[in-house]
Amino acid sequence: MGAWWQVCLLAIPLALPTDLGYPEQNGGWLTNKYLAPMEEEHCTVERRDASLTYSQFIDQYAFSRPVVIQGITDNSEFQAHCTRDQLLAEFGDRLVRLSTANTYSYRKVDVPFQEYVEHLLEPQDLASLGSDTLYFFGDNNFTEWGSLFQQYRPPPFRIPGTSGAYSFGIAGSGSGVPFHWHGPGYSEVIYGRKRWFLYPPEKTPEFHPNKTTLSWLLDTYPFLPPEDRPVECTIHPGEVLYFPDRWWHATLNLDTSVFISTFLG
């Protein structure tokens, strides 16, 4: 254990645990069981509030740059359905499909949701490769989980010619998906915090496709020159991050996090 603590303390700022149980304010999801990576020193994604209009969104962000929008949706009812106790009571015996957390190849494993929550929902192991890290996001059965998704209010701004598809997930502290890209979309955190790293389509990030985001943060990020740093920000409950088409992005859950993305395709 000594080496683990030394690596983390030297490489990135860490948050000291304040509560080792299942705090009510985080929906009962375990957080800060171990030291967790902290937020970036300065968010470099513009933040807008609910006064942002649709025309401003289209003109300024939809096709050009990411934005964090605060208070654009009220998902307090959906959040109430996403507590640990509520989800286990309703979906504990349902199968969920886990994916490996690497960039180009995804192994799929089906397990009961209760087994995932009670035995696999752990902080990221620093020694694990992406191909060894199982991650619950997307691949949800929309028939079985439909009653939950009906409670969600997605961001109201749509890009012409697209429709939304949900990707719901729950993941432990330090977990995440390494750099990849796809079409445009939104990401909202329901519980916990999620840190995002983004690059425009013309700037391919330096990363190993089978290393976890946490490994990249420890081993690569500190040595990047300023001009090669990503655009980055941590989103909190009540905030929505929009990312444009083909923007590279990687994610890192700073706490045990419940989150949902709306992909525009």
Per-residue three-class SS string for the chain: CHHHHHHHHHHCCEECCCCCCCCHHHCCCCCCCCCEECCCCCCCCCEECCCCCHHHHHHHHHCCCCEEEECCCCCHHHHHHCCHHHHHHHHCCCEEEEEECCCCCCCEEEEEHHHHHHHHCCCCCCCCCHHHCEEEECCCCCCCCHHHHCCCCCCCCCCCCCCEEEEEEEECCCCCCCCECCCCEEEEEEECCEEEEEECCCCCCCCCCCCCHHHHHHHCHHHCCHHHCCEEEEECCCEEEEECCCCEEEEEECCCEEEEEEEEC
Residue 125 maps to a domain: yes
CA atoms within 13 A on the CB side of 18: 6
Residue 6 inside a domain? The answer is no
- Does a structural domain hold residue 203? yes
Q: What is the CATH number of the domain that holds 165?
A: 2.60.120.650
C-alpha of 71 from chain center: 18
Is 0.95 surpassed by the pTM of this model? no
Q: What are phi and psi for residue 257, nearest 5 degrees?
A: -125, 145
Residue 40 inside a domain? The answer is: no
Question: What pLDDT was estimated at residue 127?
Answer: 87
pLDDT tops 50 at residue 1: no
Q: Give the domain range for residue 217.
A: 47-264
Matching residue, tokens 């700022």 = 13
Work out the pLDDT band at 23, boundaries 50, 70, 90: very low
Q: Is residue 98 part of a domain?
A: yes
Asked if residue 185 is part of any domain, the answer here is yes
- Looking at the structure of the chain, the number of domains it has is 1
Rounded to the nearest integer, the mean pLDDT of the chain is 87
In a domain, 159, yes or no: yes
Whether the pLDDT of residue 24 is over 70: the answer is: no
**How do residues 139-190 score in pLDDT, each as one tens digit?**
776 778 889 999 999 999 999 999 999 999 999 999 999 999 999 999 999 9
What's the average model confidence in pLDDT over 210-215?
93
Q: Is residue 27 part of a domain?
A: no
36-51 confidence digits (pLDDT tens) = 678 998 999 999 999 9
